[in-house]
């Protein structure tokens, strides 16, 4: 056997090992989730705590616990955001999210559910992806899946953050306004959200929540 063939053989072996490594990595994209994440819910006129509590199946006292700014019962100011707590799970071993069961109302569409009911915490495409019902055939008062994405952190970025807010960007918001509002440096926001176009005025951003918590190793 000359040098060339043994070289080729070891190259093939190396390639095979890399391929195996890559396959294992891609097959299990997540293994653990975390007990707590927040959904940043933009409050529109007519919305109230009872409604939000129902949508997310979370008790009002629990929501209030994480939103000390709400001082008076069921009144929440429209045009503000509240942090709704939820558990962030590894779904299908594939991605981190939480699937809420939502009961459709008369006239609901996947688009309306994503944009209005869930305040852009998801989008039409993603709601449709997690349901078997054809968009044109959505029955009234049926339970459908609404999956909201989340994250528990990324130890390659920083081990100091394990609690995150799933934050739908609104028109007029950008990297700088978000950094000011969340008190998180722009560089950190960018590094936790490498795929996000902060100038698009839409889409999700994962914002580290104030108060560092222990990062959960996955």
Ligand X SMILES: *[C@@H]1O[C@H](CO)[C@@H](O)[C@H](O)[C@H]1NC(C)=O
Q: Quick check: 115 binds ligand X (CB under 6 A)?
A: yes
Tokens for 135, please give them: 């968009």
Report the distance separating Cα 112 and Cα 122, nearest Å: 11
C-alpha neighbours within 13 Å on the C-beta side of residue 183:
4
Do the beta carbons of residue 153 and residue 206 sit within 8 Å? no
User: How many CA within 13 A on the CB side of residue 20?
Assistant: 6
Minimum separation from the CB atom of position 182 to ligand X (A): 17
For the bound state, the minimum distance from the C-beta of residue 8 to ligand X, rounded and expressed in Å, comes to: 38
Alpha helices in 134-210 (DSSP H): 175-182, 186-192
Q: Using CB under 6 A, which residues numbered 162 to 181 contact ligand X?
A: 170
79 near ligand X, rule: CB under 6 A: no
Sites for ligand X among residues 83-102 (CB under 6 A) = 95
1-40: which residues touch ligand X (CB under 6 A)? none
Residue 44 as a binder of ligand X (CB under 6 A): the answer is yes
**Cβ 48 to ligand X shortest distance, Å:** 4
DSSP state letter for 138: P
Query: Which run of H or E residues covers position 26?
Result: helix 3-27
How many angstroms separate the CA atoms of 89 and 98, rounded?
A: 6
Which segment (44-52, 61-69, 76-84, 181-189) binds ligand X by CB under 6 A? 44-52
Q: Report if residue 149 touches ligand X, rule: CB under 6 A.
A: yes
Q: Stretches 18-26, 142-150, 152-160, 208-216: which one binds ligand X (CB under 6 A)? A: 142-150
- Extract the tokens encoding 157: 């970025």
Distance CA 194, CA 199 (A): 13
- Containing 16, the helix (H) or strand (E) segment is helix 3-27
Residue 85 C-beta: closest distance to ligand X, Å: 19
In the complex with ligand X, the residue whose CB is nearer, 40 or 179, is: 40
* Shortest Cβ 167–ligand X spacing (Å): 11
| Residues in contact with ligand X by the rule CB under 6 A | 42, 44, 46-48, 50-51, 74, 95, 115, 119-120, 122-123, 126, 130-133, 144-145, 149, 170, 197, 199-200, 202, 204
């Amino acid at each position: 056997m000359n040098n060339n063939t043994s070289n080729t053989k070891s190259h093939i072996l190396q390639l095979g090992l890399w391929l195996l490594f890559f396959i294992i990595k891609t097959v299990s994209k997540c293994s653990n989730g975390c007990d707590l994440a927040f959904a940043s819910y933009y409050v529109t006129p007519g919305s109230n705590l009872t409604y939000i509590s129902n949508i997310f199946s979370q008790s009002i006292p629990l929501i209030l616990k994480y939103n000390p700014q709400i001082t008076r019962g069921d009144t929440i100011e429209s045009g503000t955001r509240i942090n709704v707590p939820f558990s962030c799970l590894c779904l299908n071993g594939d991605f981190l999210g939480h699937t809420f069961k939502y009961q459709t109302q008369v006239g609901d569409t996947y688009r309306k559910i994503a944009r209005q009911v869930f305040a852009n915490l998801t989008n039409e495409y993603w709601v449709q992806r997690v349901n078997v019902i054809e968009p044109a055939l959505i029955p009234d008062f049926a339970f459908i899946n609404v999956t909201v994405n989340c994250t528990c952190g990324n130890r390659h970025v920083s081990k100091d953050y394990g609690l995150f807010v799933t934050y739908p960007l609104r028109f007029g918001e950008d990297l700088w306004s978000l950094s000011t509002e969340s008190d998180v440096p722009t560089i950190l926001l960018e590094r936790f959200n490498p795929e996000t176009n902060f100038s698009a005025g839409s889409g999700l951003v994962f914002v580290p929540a104030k108060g560092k918590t222990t990062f959960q190793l996955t």
